[in-house]
Structure 1
Amino acid sequence: MAAAPGSNRAFWQTRNGVLLASAIVSSAAVWWVIAWPVASFANIAAHQGHFMLTFAHMLGGSGMLIFGAANLYLAARKTRFALHRRVGQLYLATGAFGATTAIVVTLSAAHKSGLILTNSTLSLATLGSAWLVFAALGWRAGRNRRFASHGDWMIRSYVLSWAFVLCRFASPVPEIGQLGGGQAFIWLSWVLPMMVCEIVLQWPQGARKG
């Protein structure tokens, strides 16, 4: 692998490379645990009556993670801009599909025996809406050639992509139920990552002037 611009080290030996490699490995593990049972039609019975909607969400969410990671790599390399644009379009298309189906699923009666509109439902619907808004702002910034702003919004959207994964992956953990039936965790699963993301993105803006 060629060295990243301005560096004598290979990209995968840099901080961004290590973080991206970690995201790819963890995405593969999470996809195998969460998405594969749906993709292989192994748990149709668990989603009786709404399996096709769940399958559609799995496709969108998978594209969101895969194309998002690929585009972060291309953006970090600062090469092959035409490919970066095409992969970005796939990320936005599959991500919008995944976020929209997530909103539809959470607002439906699937896996609910009582009220459909709950604290958890509102949190997940807000998370999906936030992804759509952040992605739209990133698309708008890129279209207007505001590339620094475009990059920041895309990073924010990818953090929210992982918030979907974190929420789904941790929900079966028994201890989560101690936080108000998991409702507090549903909010924290994406609010806290966004706080950390914002600190990282905005930290250079407050640096001492040279």
Structure 2
Amino acid sequence: MLDLKAEGIDAAKGPAAEETPFELFEQWITEAGRQEINDPNAMALATAGEDALPDVRMVLLKEYDTEGFVFFTNTQSNKGAELAANMQASAVLHWKSMRRQVRFRGPVEAVTEAEADAYFVSRAPDSRIGAWASRQSRPLGSRRELDEAVAREGARFGDSEVPRPPYWSGYRIRPTYIEFWSDRPFRLHDRFVFSRQKPEGPWHLGRLYP
């Protein structure tokens, strides 16, 4: 079991009153980066279109700061269509080896063109080609069809710089709720919650029964 106090939480008292959820998240994800074997920034993202069932899938958290949590995707994908209809989302990062998780929810906004460009150019060249080749979430006849699309786009761009597709961008979840969960014996887990009425509002810290 991890020493919660050493990691920023006194289990009896909870986070420090002056501590923001983003400061605590920074501590936890940094620790996850040292301990988790694969993708410590992997998170389950839940969205729901208008009058539709919720949909969930794994994505990678790519950026975070006091404004929120950012992921990037094809905006013509299922998640993109759902967000176009309902700009709200929730997500959870679960670090099994650390027996911890963080979940959050709130309204969603599109990142700026400059933010999307900056992240896209940081991707591996093959990933940039893949963004042009993949018609994400739409039916695919065969793997060969995808391979041919990748080859075609690779030939089209050759050795030139691969620009960001107009349908590829990012979203920022601006949380109004962030919960920090730590495993404790006998299912008597610790749950600390930061909540606020709107993304610009002050945080209120509370604790939940497990």
Please give the range of the TM-score, normalised by the shorter of the 2 chains: under 0.3
The structure with more strand, counted as a fraction of residues: 2
Q: Specify which structure has the bigger relative contact order, considering alpha-carbon pairs within 8 angstroms and separated by 6 or more residues.
A: 2
Q: TM-score, structure 1 length as denominator?
A: 0.25
TM-score by length of 2: 0.25
Larger radius of gyration: 2
